[in-house]
Amino acid sequence: MYKKVELQKGFVGMENDVAKMWKDKDIIKKSLNGNQGKRYFTFYDGPPTANGKPHVGHIETRVIKDLIPRYKVMKGYRVIRKAGWDTHGLPVELEIEKKLGISGKQQIEEYGVEKFVKQCKESVFEYVHLWEEMTNKVGFWVDMENPYVTYHNEYIESVWWALKQMWEKGLLYEGHKVMPYCPRCGTALSSHEVAQGYKDVKDLTCIAKFKVLDGQKFEKDTYILAWTTTPWTLPSNLALCVNKSYEYAEVKANIGTDDEPVYENYILAKDLLETVLKETPYDVVKTFKGEELLGTKYERLMPFGEVEGKAFEVIHGDYVTLTDGTGIVHIAPAYGEDDSYVAKQNGITFINLVDKEGKFVKKVEPWAGRFVRDCNEDICKWLKQENKLFSKEKHMHSYPHCWRCDTPLLYYPKESWFVAMSKLRDELVENNSKVNWYPETIKTGRFGKFLENVIDWGISRDRYWGTPLPIWTCEDEECGHQECIGSIAELKEKGIDVPEDIELHKPYIDNVYLKCPKCGKKMKRAKEVIDCWFDSGSMPFAQWHYPFENKEMFDNNFPAQFISEAVDQTRGWFYTLTAVGTALFNRTPFENCIVLGHVLDEKGQKMSKSKGNGVDPMELLNTVGADATRWHFYTCSAPWLPTRLSLDNVKETRKRIFKYIMECILILCIICRNRPIQSIEI
C-alpha cells in the first residue's frame, strides 16, 4: 500500500506561518540592509494616497515591483526599497469635506482653514494599516518603517528647492490662460490630470443661426450656421471661425412646406451640406473660399452683458475641420484654449459671464445663478423662440471630468503659475528616447506623443492642503518685486519674525511676510498651493531631503534602474518624474519602466464600485493565498496587457501550481527510487 499523506494546513495557512517567521527573524529588514558596500540597483516606489483603501490593482503593482528588486538582491546588489505616501491634494480635502458635512471653498473657510488643514493632516494615514496588511500579506518587501511622506517639512523644503531652481532658470511664470477648471473644487487642472478623467457622455448639441448684417455681399436674411457641443457658451459668443482654405456655400433653403414655403439663406461648408441640411430642401446660391468670409459682420446672438471692442465677425483658424459640425466654429474666448488663442490672434475682445462656481452671473438674466451645463436645454429653447436655432440633437462625445470628484470640467479663464514645459519639449523627447519602456510602443506612442505635444504645466491650485507655492510679492503694486524662496534657512533670513518651528503649510505660512529689498515694504505669499503631482514627481530627491542632506545617497541612487505602475500613470507619475527630472537635471529619473495593464473582472469589464464587480484584495489573499495570486499576475498574460481576475480564475491558477509541484515530487521520488506518493489531499 502506498502511504497516504495529508497536508493539514492549506497554503494560506503556510503563508501566514512564513510571514510570521519573516517577522520574528527580521528577514525583510535584513534583506533591505543587505549587500552593504556593494553596487546599487535603484528602485523607486511610486507613492499611493494613504487616505484611500487599496484595491486589487495595487496587488498587481506590488507583485511586479517586488520581482526585480528581489532578484537583484540575490545577485548581490544593494537595493534600497523606500516606501512613500502621497498625502496632499484634493483626495484628502474631499474626504474631510464629507466627514464634516460641508461642501466647497466657502464652507471650508467658514469652518476655518487651520482646523480644516489639521483635519486633513490627521486623516492621511486613516487606512495605512490596510496598506501595510496587504503589503505584508502579498510579500512585497519594502521599507514601510522609514517612508518618505510628502507633507513632512523636509520633503516640502526639497520641493521648494526644486521650484527655486526652476525660477532661476526662467521656467516659472505667472500667466492668464483658459484652463480646464473644476467648479466643484474651485481649482484649475493640469493637462496630465485632465487626461485621466475623460468619459463618454451624451450631451445636447445645437446648430445656431448667426444673422449676417445687411450689406455684407449676401442675400437678405442670410444666416451663418455654427455647431457647438456646449450651448451654454453661446451667450458669450464673440466671433465665428472658418478655415480660409475650405470651400463654403450659400444656399437657399425651404424651412417651410411645399405648399407654404419659407426661405432662409444659410452659409456653411460645401462638403457638409448633405450632412447638415439632411431633409431640408435647398438650392446652392454660390460657392466660395473661406477667405471670402473673413471680416463678415453678424448680429450678436444673445444680448447678455456689455461687449466693448472688436467682436461679432468671421475670423480664420487652422484648427477648423470638416469632420463634424458645419465647418464653422463659434468662438467664446473665455471657455476654450483654441478659442482664446485664435481670438487673441485676431484682436477679438473678451467677456466672461460665468462665475467661479460654474454658474451664470446676474447679467445672464434668464439663467442667473444656475450651473451652466444645466442650462443647455433652456438656451436651445430661447434660441428657437428667437428664430436663432437651426437644429439640436444629443451627441455622444468624450468630455473631461475632474479625476478626483467626477464633476464635469469647464474651460475657464484663470490666473495661474506655470512651469514652461514647452521650452523643454525637445529635451523631454530626447530624454524619453533613452528610456527602455515595456512595452516599447509606449515610448513613441502614448507617452512619446504626449511629450511631443506638451504644454506649459499649470502648477498652482487655489486650495488649502498642499505644498505652499513659495513665491512672495511686494504689497506695493508699483514696486511689484517677487521672490521665490528655496529653503527654510532662506525664509528665516529674509522673513519677518519667522517662528523657529514654522510649519510649511497654510495658514501658518501665510502669516510669514518678507521685507522687500527694493522698497522696504511687506511682501506677501501667493495664496496658492501646488499640484500634488509635483510632490510625487519630486520623490527621487525629496525622499532624501536633497540637497540639504544625504547628497551621497541621492547621487548613488539617481536615476532609478527600475520603476513600474499602471498605464494611467503615463500622464501621471511617469510624466511628472520626467518633467521635474528634465527641468532640474536634464534627464529622465528612470532607465527602465514596466507599464502595467489594468485589472479587469472575469468578463473583461473594468472594475468599479457602481458595477459591484470588484474583487476585495484581502478576500482574495485570504481565500486563495499570496503565492497563487502572485503567480496569476506573473503568468496569465504579459504585464502590460489587461488582466482578467476573479476568485475562480485565481483558484484555477492555484490548481496548476499544485499540479506542477506534485509532478516535481513524483519525479523526485522516481529519481530517488522511492515509491511514489499515492495521494495528497489539500
Residues catalogued as catalytic: 47, 86, 533, 569, 573, 606, 609
Specify the pairing of strand 436-438 against strand 592-596: parallel
C-alpha closest to that of 66 among 137, 13, 128? 137
Paired with 592 in beta bridges are 436
Q: Which residues pair with residue 410 across a beta bridge?
A: 181
Separation of first and last alpha carbons in the chain? 20
The whole-angstrom separation of Cα 242 and Cα 537 is 41
CA distance 371 to 361: 10
What per-residue string of b and e applies to 23-43 under the rule 16 or more CB within 10 Å gives b? eeeeebeebbeebeeeebbbb
Pairing of strands 222-228, 263-269: parallel
C-alpha cell at 127: 487606512
What are the φ/ψ torsions at residue 326 (nearest 5 degrees)?
Answer: -115, 0
Q: Is 260 helix (H, G, I), strand (E, B) or coil?
A: coil
- Quote the CA–CA distance of 471 and 510 in Å, as a whole number: 11
d(CA 552, CA 200): 49
The DSSP call for residue 195 is: T
Those residues with Cβ within 8 angstroms of residue 21's Cβ, 6 or more apart along the chain or in another chain: 27
CA-nearest of 560, 481, 559 to 519 is 481
59 is written with which cell numbers? 496587488
Q: How far apart are CA 240 and CA 313, in angstroms?
A: 6
Q: Which three cell numbers stand for residue 434?
A: 533613452
Q: Is 48 helix (H, G, I), strand (E, B) or coil?
A: coil
> Grid coordinates in use for 490?
532662506
Asked if 185 contacts 463 with a C-beta cutoff of 8 angstroms, the reply is yes
Q: How far out from the chain centre does Cα 136 lie?
A: 29
Side-chain-side CA neighbours of 106 within 13 Å: the count stands at 4
For the chain, what is the largest distance between any 2 Cα atoms, rounded to a whole number of angstroms?
109
C-alpha cell of residue 239 = 466671433
DSSP class of 265: E
Ramachandran bin of 601, using left for φ above 0, alpha for ψ from -120 to 50, beta for the remaining angles:
beta
Extract the C-alpha cell encoding 58. 495595487
DSSP letter at 36 equals T
Whole-number Å distance between alpha carbons of 369 and 412: 17
Q: Helices 56-74 and 617-624, interaxial angle, to 10°? A: 60
β 198-211/247-254 pair status: unpaired
Contacts of 408 (CB under 8 A, 6+ apart): 201, 373, 399, 400, 401, 402
Torsion of CA 315, 321, 326, 327, to 10 degrees: 30
